[in-house]
Amino acid sequence: MDKVNNKQIIVALDFDSAEQALAFLAQLDPAQCRVKIGKELFTACGPALVRAVIAEGFDVFLDLKFHDIPNTVSRAVKVAAELGVWMLNVHASGGLAMLEQSRQALEEFGVSRPLLVAVTVLTSLGEEDLRQVGITATPEQQVSRLALLAQNAGLDGVVCSAAETEILRAQLSPEFCLVTPGIRRPEDAAGDQKRVIGPAQAILNGSDYLVVGRPITQAASPAAVLQEFNLAIASVR
């Protein structure tokens, strides 16, 4: 599977209804981006919305961050793959067995299987947040530890902040993909993201896919802002 083509922007569909999500997608060209369906939208609309978005021509990153015992997660991963999604994720902190069994659950799908990536440290968490849950490592150290675990388990990549991608690129296989949320232009508010970066710098740092939410979904002209992000990426390719 080619991990990167001209669709490196993943637009986060942060809506709470199918009507809102589909009305928004009517403004975008599926040749220019992929989309992410997360917990809020999936909880509100379920698998039917995933199928509807795929039917509109969009590649779907199903962002449910599975984290449970290995058998439960591997079965959930298999069901998600049956929806025809392009990418899905699990939490790397679920451990090696959970990661390996999740990967094994996708083997029956052959070359058409979705990419499986692992969440390392959420971009809303800083060093103090990690200390509050008993992790004494810095975010960079913890991301590195979990990314190596995911690679050893045979996953396709990880979700990480662009602040860590340079470090990870020096440690991991070139084929291992890095998915980066928290992407903002200088004029965009950071919101609840603590470790953010611009699109061009993220690509230069080694990110393969960039997740962008509110700067596009809340724009007066989403297609125009998407084009800005794509042009920023093209300028450093």
Torsion of CA 89, 95, 101, 102, to 10 degrees: 0
With a cut of 50, say whether residue 101 has pLDDT above it: yes
pLDDT at 1: 45
| DSSP-H helix ranges across the chain | 18-25, 39-45, 47-55, 70-82, 96-105, 127-132, 139-152, 165-171, 199-205, 214-217, 222-234
pLDDT at 4: 52
**pTM reported for the whole predicted model:** 0.92
Three-class DSSP labels, 173-233: CCCCEEEECCECCCCCCCCCCCCCECHHHHHHHCCCEEEECHHHHCCCCHHHHHHHHHHHH
pLDDT at 124: 84
Q: What is the band of 31 on the pLDDT scale with cuts at 50, 70, 90?
A: very high
pLDDT at 40: 95
92: helix, strand or coil: helix
Domain 9-234 has CATH 3.40.50.2000: no
pLDDT at 199: 92
Backbone phi, psi, residue 56, to 5° = -80, 0
Rounded-to-integer distance, Cα 225 and Cα 237, Å = 19
CB 105 within 8 A of CB 77: yes
Rounded-to-integer distance, Cα 23 and Cα 128, Å = 39
With a cut of 80, say whether residue 119 has pLDDT above it: yes
pLDDT at 123: 79
pLDDT tens profile 40-95: 999 999 999 999 999 999 999 999 999 999 999 999 999 999 999 999 999 999 99
Rounded-to-integer distance, Cα 117 and Cα 113, Å = 12
Percentage with pLDDT > 90 across the chain: 84
Residues with Cβ within 8 Å of 62's Cβ and at least 6 positions away in sequence, in order, are: 36, 37, 42, 50, 80, 83, 85, 87, 88, 89, 114
Which residue numbers are catalytic?
Answer: 65
pLDDT tens profile 147-203: 999 999 999 999 998 888 999 999 999 999 999 988 877 666 555 544 568 899 999
Of 26-30, 123-127, 183-187, minimum mean pLDDT range: 183-187
